[in-house]
Amino acid sequence: MLYVMVDYIVVGTGLAGICFTEKLASEGKSFIVIDNEKRSSSLQAGGMYNPVVLKRFTEVWKVGEQLAIAKPFYAKLEEKLGAKFMHEIPLYRRLVSIEEQNNWFQAADRPNLESYLSSNLDRQEIKGVLSPYGFGVVNETGYVDTKVLISKYRALLHQEGVYRVEAFDFDQLSFDNEKVVYKDIEAKHIVFAEGFGMLNNPFFKELPLDGTKGEVMVVKIPDLNIDFILKANVFLIPLGDNHYKVGATYNWEDKTDDVSKEGLEELIAGLKEVVDLDFEVVQHSAGVRPTVKDRRPLLGRSLQSDRIHVMNGLGTRGVLLGPFLADKLYNNIENKMPLEENLSIHRYKKFKLK
């Protein structure tokens, strides 16, 4: 058989797969990407990024480093794809009590948060928005239109002849100390970035990928006029033309991508709590986020071979984590840089390296 020789095989074209593939491209590595395109929570994601955990007013773990990598990464990718998908806009956190106002002021005074949280509340009255205690303004926020990103990136992979739309067949994968072979492809390494599909991967299925189903909807609200992300019990992201993305629900039991009546009702109830205007539901979608029980990502090589790797567990913060983790995994594979324990799969007993 005549083999196609590449440096890497990447399985998956969600946020994780795209970020790692683009890291390979930037480093001049050759690759082939495989995805059956049947399931990707990234397509349904809100795509919002935010440096602060707004329930507790704490800084997101290593967010400064994540932002420093993600911003230029997406800017270069927009130029490469000739498409706009990253939108840097502020986030307004609706405050619901005097106590929350006080908590906001205390958080805004902390040295690690002062660059992200405005020290002054925004008390503007916005037609149709219920906000008697005003808003706290968060900077360094925005959203990535994941549907635009993924569709454009897949199209580029097709155009460059490095994309195969098929279900990965593990029976066709073999490996030794020097390489992996999949059908007619011979590569130095393979990276699995399958999202929730990892539970069917024989090399990594025992990792504690929990999966959290999320539902979002797109609504049309003709009388609402905001140009920022509004965060209350739900978030509202302005998409233009009076359309807003509203999300998201959290369901730890249902692992399907099917929308539910209960999910829609929860989204509508959350929207009505903050917006007192007529609206029309235009779209309702669902996906299972690849979340991990300890809320940390999954990076590393399999116990069976140092040629087989995983990048998963991006959870609800994939927009910022994706480029950051792609850098970490690439440097681990190519430059033998060790992974931090709270990123590596080898933090788990069953996956401890000897």
CATH code of the domain containing 172? 3.50.50.60
- % of the chain with per-residue pLDDT over 70: 97
Output the pLDDT for position 56: 85
Residue 353 has pLDDT above 90, yes or no: no
User: Are 119 and 215 part of one and the same domain?
Assistant: yes
Asked if 246 contacts 219 with a C-beta cutoff of 8 angstroms, the reply is yes
Average pLDDT over residues 273-281: 96
* 42 band by pLDDT with thresholds 50, 70 and 90: low
Asked if 146 contacts 237 with a C-beta cutoff of 8 angstroms, the reply is no
> pLDDT for 231-259, tens place per residue?
999 999 999 999 999 988 999 899 888 99
Number of domains within the chain: 2
User: Are 279 and 224 part of one and the same domain?
Assistant: yes
User: Are 134 and 11 part of one and the same domain?
Assistant: no
User: Are 116 and 222 part of one and the same domain?
Assistant: yes
17: domain range?
Answer: 4-45+147-207+294-347
User: Are 160 and 282 part of one and the same domain?
Assistant: no
User: Are 161 and 37 part of one and the same domain?
Assistant: yes
| Mean pLDDT taken over the chain | 94
Q: Is residue 38 part of a domain?
A: yes
User: Are 127 and 232 part of one and the same domain?
Assistant: yes
Q: Is residue 81 part of a domain?
A: no
Q: Is residue 109 part of a domain?
A: yes
What CATH number is attached to the domain comprising 220?
3.30.9.10
User: Are 137 and 237 part of one and the same domain?
Assistant: yes
Q: Is residue 187 part of a domain?
A: yes
Average pLDDT over residues 297-313: 96
Output the pLDDT for position 41: 64
Output the pLDDT for position 122: 95
Which of 246, 248, 287 is closest to 39 using CA atoms? Answer: 287
Residue 140 has pLDDT above 80, yes or no: yes
Which of 175-179, 195-199, 217-221, 266-270 is least confident?
195-199
User: Are 133 and 159 part of one and the same domain?
Assistant: no
Asked if 136 contacts 5 with a C-beta cutoff of 8 angstroms, the reply is no
User: Are 127 and 242 part of one and the same domain?
Assistant: yes
Q: Is residue 299 part of a domain?
A: yes
Q: Is residue 103 part of a domain?
A: yes
User: Are 229 and 166 part of one and the same domain?
Assistant: no
